[in-house]
Amino acid sequence: MNRTKGDEEEYWNSSKFKAFTFDDEDDELSQVVNSLRDFVDDDDADDDLERVSWTVEEGNGRRWCPSESVACSFSALSDTSAKSYAPELGRPKGEYRDYSNDWSPSDTVRRLRKGKVCSLERFRSLQDKLQLLEEAVSMHDGNVITAVLIFLKRTLSKEILFRELEVRQVALRHLIHFLKEIGDQKLLLDLFRFLDRTEELALTHYREHLNIQDPEKRKEFLKTCIGLPFSAEDSAHIQDHYTLLERQIIIEANDRHLESAGQTEIFRKHPRKASILNMPLVTTLFYSCFYHYTEAEGTFSSPVNLKKTFKIPEKQYVLTALAARAKLRAWHDVDALFTTKNWLGYTKKRAPIGFHRVVEILHKNSAPVQILQEYVNLVEDVDTKLNLATKFKCHDVVIDTCRDLKDRQQLLVYRSKVDKGSAEEEKIDAILNSSQIRWKN
Protein backbone atom coordinates (compact mmCIF):
# COMPACT_ATOMS: atom_id res chain seq x y z
CA MET A 1 0.00 0.00 0.00
CA ASN A 2 1.03 3.57 -0.41
CA ARG A 3 -0.35 6.41 1.47
CA THR A 4 -0.82 9.45 -0.68
CA LYS A 5 1.71 12.15 -0.34
CA GLY A 6 -0.82 14.47 1.18
CA ASP A 7 -1.62 11.95 3.80
CA GLU A 8 1.94 11.53 4.61
CA GLU A 9 2.59 15.18 4.98
CA GLU A 10 -0.38 15.59 7.11
CA TYR A 11 0.79 12.76 9.20
CA TRP A 12 4.14 14.36 9.90
CA ASN A 13 3.10 17.96 9.93
CA SER A 14 -0.42 18.22 11.18
CA SER A 15 -0.73 20.45 14.16
CA LYS A 16 -2.89 17.92 15.83
CA PHE A 17 -0.15 15.44 15.73
CA LYS A 18 2.22 17.98 17.11
CA ALA A 19 -0.03 18.46 20.04
CA PHE A 20 1.21 15.16 21.21
CA THR A 21 4.78 16.01 21.55
CA PHE A 22 5.49 15.32 25.08
CA ASP A 23 7.49 18.29 26.11
CA ASP A 24 5.52 20.93 24.36
CA GLU A 25 4.57 23.13 27.25
CA ASP A 26 3.25 26.06 25.31
CA ASP A 27 0.50 24.16 23.71
CA GLU A 28 -2.76 24.60 25.49
CA LEU A 29 -3.85 21.18 24.41
CA SER A 30 -0.95 19.71 26.23
CA GLN A 31 -2.76 19.85 29.52
CA VAL A 32 -5.29 17.47 28.15
CA VAL A 33 -3.42 15.26 25.83
CA ASN A 34 0.16 15.34 26.89
CA SER A 35 -0.28 12.64 29.34
CA LEU A 36 2.20 9.98 30.00
CA ARG A 37 -0.18 7.43 28.75
CA ASP A 38 0.65 8.38 25.21
CA PHE A 39 3.85 6.57 25.46
CA VAL A 40 3.10 4.35 28.33
CA ASP A 41 0.23 2.43 26.95
CA ASP A 42 1.01 -0.65 25.17
CA ASP A 43 -1.83 -2.23 23.39
CA ASP A 44 -4.25 0.58 23.75
CA ALA A 45 -5.85 1.97 20.71
CA ASP A 46 -4.06 5.10 19.62
CA ASP A 47 -1.38 3.49 17.50
CA ASP A 48 -3.57 0.92 16.05
CA LEU A 49 -6.21 3.42 15.23
CA GLU A 50 -4.00 4.66 12.49
CA ARG A 51 -3.53 1.20 11.26
CA VAL A 52 -7.16 0.54 11.25
CA SER A 53 -8.02 3.64 9.38
CA TRP A 54 -5.56 2.67 6.68
CA THR A 55 -7.18 -0.68 6.54
CA VAL A 56 -10.46 0.96 5.96
CA GLU A 57 -9.08 3.16 3.25
CA GLU A 58 -7.41 0.38 1.41
CA GLY A 59 -9.57 -2.48 2.33
CA ASN A 60 -6.73 -4.93 2.45
CA GLY A 61 -7.37 -7.09 5.44
CA ARG A 62 -4.65 -5.96 7.73
CA ARG A 63 -4.53 -8.20 10.68
CA TRP A 64 -6.10 -6.83 13.76
CA CYS A 65 -4.35 -7.89 16.82
CA PRO A 66 -6.56 -9.68 19.27
CA SER A 67 -5.50 -8.00 22.44
CA GLU A 68 -7.21 -4.74 21.75
CA SER A 69 -10.47 -3.72 23.23
CA VAL A 70 -13.30 -4.10 20.82
CA ALA A 71 -14.76 -0.80 21.87
CA CYS A 72 -11.70 1.05 20.68
CA SER A 73 -11.59 -0.66 17.38
CA PHE A 74 -15.19 0.17 16.69
CA SER A 75 -14.78 3.77 17.57
CA ALA A 76 -11.78 3.81 15.33
CA LEU A 77 -13.57 2.34 12.42
CA SER A 78 -16.22 4.96 12.60
CA ASP A 79 -13.76 7.80 12.85
CA THR A 80 -12.62 9.89 9.98
CA SER A 81 -9.04 9.43 9.06
CA ALA A 82 -8.10 12.93 10.10
CA LYS A 83 -9.27 12.29 13.59
CA SER A 84 -7.45 9.07 13.79
CA TYR A 85 -4.18 10.94 13.55
CA ALA A 86 -5.02 12.49 16.85
CA PRO A 87 -6.52 9.46 18.38
CA GLU A 88 -7.11 10.71 21.84
CA LEU A 89 -9.21 13.57 20.67
CA GLY A 90 -11.16 11.13 18.63
CA ARG A 91 -11.92 8.95 21.52
CA PRO A 92 -15.30 9.39 23.17
CA LYS A 93 -15.13 11.48 26.28
CA GLY A 94 -16.61 8.84 28.47
CA GLU A 95 -13.94 6.43 27.56
CA TYR A 96 -11.23 8.93 28.25
CA ARG A 97 -12.56 9.53 31.68
CA ASP A 98 -12.37 5.86 32.19
CA TYR A 99 -8.65 5.99 31.79
CA SER A 100 -8.04 8.92 34.05
CA ASN A 101 -9.95 7.21 36.75
CA ASP A 102 -9.34 8.12 40.32
CA TRP A 103 -6.27 6.06 40.80
CA SER A 104 -4.36 6.78 43.96
CA PRO A 105 -0.67 7.52 43.56
CA SER A 106 0.20 4.00 44.57
CA ASP A 107 -2.33 2.47 42.18
CA THR A 108 -1.05 4.70 39.44
CA VAL A 109 2.51 3.66 40.00
CA ARG A 110 1.55 0.02 40.09
CA ARG A 111 -0.29 0.39 36.80
CA LEU A 112 2.62 2.22 35.25
CA ARG A 113 4.86 -0.58 36.28
CA LYS A 114 2.74 -3.10 34.51
CA GLY A 115 2.89 -0.95 31.42
CA LYS A 116 -0.73 0.02 31.65
CA VAL A 117 -2.46 3.19 30.64
CA CYS A 118 -2.22 5.88 33.25
CA SER A 119 -2.50 9.61 33.16
CA LEU A 120 -0.37 11.56 35.58
CA GLU A 121 -1.95 14.88 34.69
CA ARG A 122 -4.54 14.64 37.37
CA PHE A 123 -1.86 14.96 40.02
CA ARG A 124 -1.84 18.71 40.25
CA SER A 125 -0.79 19.64 43.74
CA LEU A 126 2.82 19.48 44.72
CA GLN A 127 1.92 17.14 47.50
CA ASP A 128 0.28 14.68 45.11
CA LYS A 129 3.22 14.81 42.79
CA LEU A 130 5.68 14.12 45.54
CA GLN A 131 3.62 11.27 46.80
CA LEU A 132 3.64 9.85 43.32
CA LEU A 133 7.40 10.14 43.23
CA GLU A 134 7.79 8.48 46.59
CA GLU A 135 5.59 5.60 45.52
CA ALA A 136 7.66 5.15 42.39
CA VAL A 137 10.91 5.21 44.34
CA SER A 138 9.65 2.66 46.80
CA MET A 139 8.94 0.30 43.88
CA HIS A 140 12.57 0.61 42.74
CA ASP A 141 11.57 0.37 39.11
CA GLY A 142 13.91 2.81 37.39
CA ASN A 143 11.66 2.93 34.39
CA VAL A 144 8.70 4.17 36.41
CA ILE A 145 10.82 6.52 38.49
CA THR A 146 12.08 8.09 35.28
CA ALA A 147 8.55 8.40 33.94
CA VAL A 148 7.44 10.26 37.05
CA LEU A 149 10.55 12.43 36.93
CA ILE A 150 9.79 13.39 33.34
CA PHE A 151 6.36 14.41 34.48
CA LEU A 152 7.72 16.42 37.40
CA LYS A 153 10.39 18.01 35.27
CA ARG A 154 7.72 19.24 32.93
CA THR A 155 5.20 20.42 35.48
CA LEU A 156 7.35 21.83 38.25
CA SER A 157 9.58 24.83 38.18
CA LYS A 158 13.27 24.08 38.20
CA GLU A 159 13.73 25.55 41.66
CA ILE A 160 11.01 23.46 43.24
CA LEU A 161 12.08 20.31 41.43
CA PHE A 162 15.67 20.69 42.58
CA ARG A 163 14.69 21.58 46.10
CA GLU A 164 12.46 18.55 46.47
CA LEU A 165 14.93 16.16 44.91
CA GLU A 166 17.74 17.35 47.11
CA VAL A 167 16.02 15.62 50.02
CA ARG A 168 15.19 12.55 47.89
CA GLN A 169 18.55 11.15 46.98
CA VAL A 170 17.42 8.07 45.05
CA ALA A 171 15.15 10.08 42.81
CA LEU A 172 17.87 12.69 42.46
CA ARG A 173 20.37 10.13 41.19
CA HIS A 174 17.84 8.85 38.69
CA LEU A 175 17.27 12.36 37.43
CA ILE A 176 21.01 12.90 37.00
CA HIS A 177 21.35 9.63 35.10
CA PHE A 178 18.35 10.52 32.99
CA LEU A 179 19.68 13.98 32.15
CA LYS A 180 23.01 12.47 31.16
CA GLU A 181 21.23 9.93 29.02
CA ILE A 182 19.20 12.46 27.09
CA GLY A 183 22.12 14.87 26.99
CA ASP A 184 20.32 17.74 28.70
CA GLN A 185 23.59 19.35 29.61
CA LYS A 186 22.08 22.66 30.56
CA LEU A 187 19.68 21.38 33.17
CA LEU A 188 22.34 19.02 34.49
CA LEU A 189 24.74 21.89 35.03
CA ASP A 190 22.00 23.92 36.71
CA LEU A 191 21.30 21.01 38.97
CA PHE A 192 24.91 20.55 40.01
CA ARG A 193 25.17 24.27 40.60
CA PHE A 194 22.08 24.17 42.78
CA LEU A 195 23.39 21.20 44.73
CA ASP A 196 26.75 22.88 45.07
CA ARG A 197 28.43 19.81 43.63
CA THR A 198 31.15 21.91 42.11
CA GLU A 199 33.61 19.29 40.98
CA GLU A 200 30.95 17.32 39.14
CA LEU A 201 29.76 20.55 37.63
CA ALA A 202 33.24 21.28 36.32
CA LEU A 203 33.82 17.76 35.01
CA THR A 204 30.44 17.59 33.34
CA HIS A 205 31.16 20.82 31.56
CA TYR A 206 34.64 19.68 30.60
CA ARG A 207 33.31 16.38 29.28
CA GLU A 208 31.51 18.17 26.51
CA HIS A 209 34.77 18.88 24.72
CA LEU A 210 34.85 15.25 23.63
CA ASN A 211 32.00 15.98 21.27
CA ILE A 212 33.64 18.93 19.57
CA GLN A 213 35.57 17.86 16.51
CA ASP A 214 36.79 21.18 15.16
CA PRO A 215 40.15 21.92 16.81
CA GLU A 216 39.65 25.69 17.00
CA LYS A 217 36.25 25.28 18.59
CA ARG A 218 37.52 22.62 20.92
CA LYS A 219 40.32 24.92 21.99
CA GLU A 220 37.90 27.77 22.64
CA PHE A 221 35.74 25.42 24.63
CA LEU A 222 38.65 24.23 26.73
CA LYS A 223 39.38 27.83 27.50
CA THR A 224 35.99 28.11 29.15
CA CYS A 225 36.93 25.19 31.39
CA ILE A 226 39.90 26.93 32.90
CA GLY A 227 38.98 28.37 36.25
CA LEU A 228 36.10 26.00 36.84
CA PRO A 229 36.08 24.51 40.34
CA PHE A 230 38.20 21.44 39.68
CA SER A 231 40.41 20.01 42.38
CA ALA A 232 43.74 21.84 42.56
CA GLU A 233 45.57 19.03 40.76
CA ASP A 234 43.02 18.76 38.00
CA SER A 235 42.94 22.52 37.46
CA ALA A 236 46.57 22.39 36.41
CA HIS A 237 45.86 19.50 34.05
CA ILE A 238 42.95 21.30 32.44
CA GLN A 239 45.09 24.37 31.92
CA ASP A 240 47.74 22.15 30.32
CA HIS A 241 45.16 20.51 28.11
CA TYR A 242 44.19 23.89 26.75
CA THR A 243 47.77 25.04 26.28
CA LEU A 244 48.70 21.80 24.56
CA LEU A 245 45.92 22.02 22.01
CA GLU A 246 46.75 25.65 21.41
CA ARG A 247 50.34 24.63 20.64
CA GLN A 248 49.29 21.73 18.50
CA ILE A 249 47.16 23.96 16.32
CA ILE A 250 50.11 26.23 15.67
CA ILE A 251 52.52 23.37 15.04
CA GLU A 252 50.08 21.55 12.82
CA ALA A 253 49.47 24.57 10.60
CA ASN A 254 53.15 25.25 10.32
CA ASP A 255 54.22 21.70 9.62
CA ARG A 256 51.49 21.00 7.15
CA HIS A 257 52.72 23.97 5.25
CA LEU A 258 56.35 22.84 5.43
CA GLU A 259 55.46 19.36 4.36
CA SER A 260 53.46 20.40 1.35
CA ALA A 261 56.13 22.89 0.31
CA GLY A 262 58.49 19.95 0.09
CA GLN A 263 61.57 21.98 0.92
CA THR A 264 62.34 20.51 4.32
CA GLU A 265 64.39 17.37 4.28
CA ILE A 266 63.00 15.74 7.40
CA PHE A 267 59.43 15.94 6.10
CA ARG A 268 60.48 14.63 2.71
CA LYS A 269 62.31 11.70 4.17
CA HIS A 270 59.76 10.93 6.84
CA PRO A 271 56.31 12.09 5.77
CA ARG A 272 53.97 12.57 8.68
CA LYS A 273 51.62 9.69 9.26
CA ALA A 274 48.94 11.62 11.09
CA SER A 275 48.13 15.06 12.35
CA ILE A 276 49.45 15.98 15.78
CA LEU A 277 46.14 17.50 16.84
CA ASN A 278 44.61 16.04 20.00
CA MET A 279 47.55 13.76 20.62
CA PRO A 280 48.74 13.28 24.21
CA LEU A 281 51.55 15.41 25.58
CA VAL A 282 54.21 12.70 25.42
CA THR A 283 53.31 11.91 21.83
CA THR A 284 53.61 15.58 21.03
CA LEU A 285 57.01 15.67 22.67
CA PHE A 286 58.08 12.67 20.60
CA TYR A 287 56.88 14.41 17.47
CA SER A 288 58.76 17.52 18.34
CA CYS A 289 61.94 15.55 19.11
CA PHE A 290 61.52 13.84 15.77
CA TYR A 291 60.84 16.83 13.52
CA HIS A 292 62.04 19.84 15.51
CA TYR A 293 64.92 18.57 17.60
CA THR A 294 67.43 21.28 16.90
CA GLU A 295 65.09 24.23 17.18
CA ALA A 296 65.90 26.94 19.66
CA GLU A 297 63.92 27.20 22.83
CA GLY A 298 62.04 30.21 21.52
CA THR A 299 59.84 28.28 19.09
CA PHE A 300 56.61 26.66 20.14
CA SER A 301 57.59 23.41 18.49
CA SER A 302 60.97 22.95 20.13
CA PRO A 303 61.31 20.06 22.57
CA VAL A 304 62.97 22.24 25.18
CA ASN A 305 60.11 24.66 25.07
CA LEU A 306 57.57 21.86 25.56
CA LYS A 307 59.61 20.50 28.39
CA LYS A 308 59.61 23.84 30.16
CA THR A 309 56.03 24.78 29.51
CA PHE A 310 54.60 21.50 30.73
CA LYS A 311 57.23 20.83 33.39
CA ILE A 312 58.00 17.46 31.86
CA PRO A 313 60.22 15.49 34.26
CA GLU A 314 63.78 14.89 33.10
CA LYS A 315 63.27 11.13 32.97
CA GLN A 316 60.25 11.37 30.75
CA TYR A 317 62.03 13.86 28.52
CA VAL A 318 65.15 11.75 28.07
CA LEU A 319 63.13 8.65 27.39
CA THR A 320 61.09 10.33 24.70
CA ALA A 321 64.00 12.13 23.08
CA LEU A 322 65.98 8.90 23.03
CA ALA A 323 63.17 7.01 21.33
CA ALA A 324 62.75 9.72 18.72
CA ARG A 325 66.45 10.15 17.92
CA ALA A 326 67.06 6.41 17.88
CA LYS A 327 64.24 5.98 15.43
CA LEU A 328 66.03 8.44 13.15
CA ARG A 329 69.28 6.60 13.83
CA ALA A 330 70.80 9.86 14.96
CA TRP A 331 73.40 8.20 17.16
CA HIS A 332 75.25 11.40 17.69
CA ASP A 333 72.19 12.96 19.32
CA VAL A 334 71.79 9.87 21.43
CA ASP A 335 75.34 10.21 22.59
CA ALA A 336 74.86 13.86 23.45
CA LEU A 337 71.77 13.06 25.44
CA PHE A 338 73.81 11.16 28.01
CA THR A 339 76.98 13.19 28.01
CA THR A 340 77.41 15.63 30.82
CA LYS A 341 80.34 17.92 31.44
CA ASN A 342 81.40 18.68 34.95
CA TRP A 343 82.84 22.03 35.94
CA LEU A 344 86.34 20.94 35.20
CA GLY A 345 85.34 20.14 31.66
CA TYR A 346 85.54 16.39 31.97
CA THR A 347 82.77 14.55 30.21
CA LYS A 348 80.85 11.80 31.87
CA LYS A 349 78.04 9.48 30.74
CA ARG A 350 74.91 9.62 32.83
CA ALA A 351 71.39 8.30 32.23
CA PRO A 352 68.58 9.26 34.59
CA ILE A 353 66.56 6.33 33.28
CA GLY A 354 69.33 3.77 33.75
CA PHE A 355 71.46 2.48 30.92
CA HIS A 356 69.65 -0.84 30.83
CA ARG A 357 66.59 1.05 29.60
CA VAL A 358 68.67 2.93 27.09
CA VAL A 359 69.89 -0.36 25.68
CA GLU A 360 66.38 -1.77 25.45
CA ILE A 361 65.14 1.25 23.56
CA LEU A 362 68.12 1.30 21.23
CA HIS A 363 67.62 -2.36 20.48
CA LYS A 364 63.97 -1.82 19.78
CA ASN A 365 65.03 0.72 17.18
CA SER A 366 67.52 -1.79 15.74
CA ALA A 367 70.67 0.05 16.63
CA PRO A 368 73.89 -1.57 15.29
CA VAL A 369 75.92 -3.74 17.66
CA GLN A 370 78.73 -1.21 18.02
CA ILE A 371 76.30 1.34 19.40
CA LEU A 372 74.51 -1.15 21.61
CA GLN A 373 77.82 -2.39 22.95
CA GLU A 374 78.83 1.05 24.04
CA TYR A 375 75.73 1.43 26.20
CA VAL A 376 75.65 -2.13 27.48
CA ASN A 377 79.11 -1.43 28.84
CA LEU A 378 77.74 1.49 30.80
CA VAL A 379 75.23 -0.65 32.69
CA GLU A 380 76.44 -0.72 36.26
CA ASP A 381 75.01 -3.92 37.62
CA VAL A 382 77.20 -6.74 36.32
CA ASP A 383 74.48 -9.38 36.13
CA THR A 384 72.17 -7.08 34.22
CA LYS A 385 75.03 -6.14 31.94
CA LEU A 386 75.85 -9.76 31.21
CA ASN A 387 72.20 -10.61 30.58
CA LEU A 388 71.71 -7.72 28.19
CA ALA A 389 74.95 -8.38 26.39
CA THR A 390 74.03 -12.04 25.92
CA LYS A 391 70.50 -11.17 24.83
CA PHE A 392 71.67 -8.65 22.25
CA LYS A 393 74.76 -10.59 21.15
CA CYS A 394 77.32 -8.04 22.22
CA HIS A 395 80.09 -10.64 22.18
CA ASP A 396 82.93 -8.41 23.27
CA VAL A 397 81.06 -7.26 26.32
CA VAL A 398 80.19 -10.78 27.35
CA ILE A 399 83.70 -12.02 26.87
CA ASP A 400 85.33 -9.10 28.63
CA THR A 401 82.91 -9.29 31.51
CA CYS A 402 83.52 -12.99 32.01
CA ARG A 403 87.22 -12.30 31.93
CA ASP A 404 86.89 -9.56 34.51
CA LEU A 405 84.81 -11.86 36.68
CA LYS A 406 87.41 -14.58 36.18
CA ASP A 407 84.50 -16.87 35.37
CA ARG A 408 86.05 -19.57 33.21
CA GLN A 409 83.01 -21.81 33.25
CA GLN A 410 80.70 -19.17 31.91
CA LEU A 411 83.18 -18.28 29.24
CA LEU A 412 83.33 -21.91 28.16
CA VAL A 413 79.57 -22.04 27.96
CA TYR A 414 79.57 -18.89 25.87
CA ARG A 415 82.20 -20.33 23.55
CA SER A 416 79.75 -23.03 22.55
CA LYS A 417 77.25 -20.37 21.54
CA VAL A 418 79.38 -18.30 19.17
CA ASP A 419 80.01 -19.30 15.57
CA LYS A 420 82.80 -21.75 14.84
CA GLY A 421 85.93 -20.06 13.54
CA SER A 422 84.63 -16.57 14.27
CA ALA A 423 86.66 -13.72 15.66
CA GLU A 424 84.77 -14.12 18.93
CA GLU A 425 85.84 -17.73 19.25
CA GLU A 426 89.43 -16.76 18.65
CA LYS A 427 89.21 -14.08 21.28
CA ILE A 428 87.76 -16.49 23.82
CA ASP A 429 90.44 -19.05 23.09
CA ALA A 430 93.13 -16.45 23.54
CA ILE A 431 91.75 -15.51 26.92
CA LEU A 432 91.25 -19.10 28.02
CA ASN A 433 94.85 -19.86 27.14
CA SER A 434 96.20 -16.83 28.86
CA SER A 435 98.32 -17.56 31.85
CA GLN A 436 97.80 -14.07 33.23
CA ILE A 437 94.34 -14.77 34.59
CA ARG A 438 93.68 -16.49 37.86
CA TRP A 439 90.34 -18.18 37.19
CA LYS A 440 87.98 -18.57 40.04
CA ASN A 441 86.62 -21.79 38.63
Partner 1 sequence: MAAHLSYGRVNLNVLREAVRRELREFLDKCAGSKAIVWDEYLTGPFGLIAQYSLLKEHEVEKMFTLKGSRLPAADVKNIIFVVRPRLELMDIISENVLSEDRRGPARDFHILFVPRRSLLCEQRLKDLGVLGSFIHREEYSLDLIPFDGDLLSMESEGAFKECYLESDQTSLYHAAKGLMTLQALYGTIPQIFGKGECARQVANMMIRMKREFTGSQNSIFPVFDNLLLLDRNVDLLTPLATQLTYEGLIDEIYGIQNSYVKLPPEKFAPKKQGDGGKDLPTEAKKLQLNSAEELYAEIRDKNFNAVGSVLSKKAKVISAAFEERHNAKTVGEIKQFVSQLPHMQAARGSLANHTSIAELIKDVTTSEDFFDKLTVEQEFMSGIDTDKVNSYIEDCIAQKHPLIKVLRLVCLQSVCNSGLKQKVLDYYKREILQTYGYEHILTLYNLEKAGLLKPQTGGRNTYPTVRKTLRLWMDDVNEQNPTDISYVYSGYAPLSVRLAQLLSRPGWRSIEEVLRILPGPHFEERQPLPTGLQKKRQPGENRVTLIFFLGGVTFAEIAALRFLSQLEDGGTEYVIATTKLINGASWIESLMEKPF
Instruction: Tell me whether residue 130 or residue 319 sits nearer to partner 1 (CB atom).
Output: 319
CA 148/CA 306 separation, integer angstroms: 53
Cβ-based burial of 85 (10 A; exposed 0-12, middle 13-18, buried ≥19): buried
Give the shortest CB-135-to-partner 1 separation in angstroms.
12
Give the shortest CB-416-to-partner 1 separation in angstroms.
24
Instruction: Tell me whether residue 50 or residue 95 sits nearer to partner 1 (CB atom).
Output: 50
Instruction: Tell me whether residue 22 or residue 331 sits nearer to partner 1 (CB atom).
Output: 22
Instruction: Tell me whether residue 319 or residue 371 sits nearer to partner 1 (CB atom).
Output: 319
Give the shortest CB-43-to-partner 1 separation in angstroms.
8
Nearest CA-CA partner of 18 in 77, 89, 73, 75: 89
CA 180/CA 182 separation, integer angstroms: 6
Give the shortest CB-141-to-partner 1 separation in angstroms.
5
Instruction: Tell me whether residue 275 or residue 441 sits nearer to partner 1 (CB atom).
Output: 275
Question: Count of CB atoms within 10 A of residue 324's CB?
Answer: 22
Sign for the CA dihedral angle at 239, 245, 248, 253 comes to negative
Nearest CA-CA partner of 397 in 413, 379, 417, 412: 379
Instruction: Tell me whether residue 100 or residue 243 sits nearer to partner 1 (CB atom).
Output: 243
> What is the residue-wise DSSP string for 122-154?
T--SHHHHHHHHHHHHHHT-HHHHHHHHHHHHH
Give the shortest CB-418-to-partner 1 separation in angstroms.
24
Contact criterion met (CB below 8 Å) for 378 and 344: no
Give the shortest CB-87-to-partner 1 separation in angstroms.
8
List CB contacts of 247: < 8 A, sequence separation 6 or more: 284, 300, 301, 306, 309
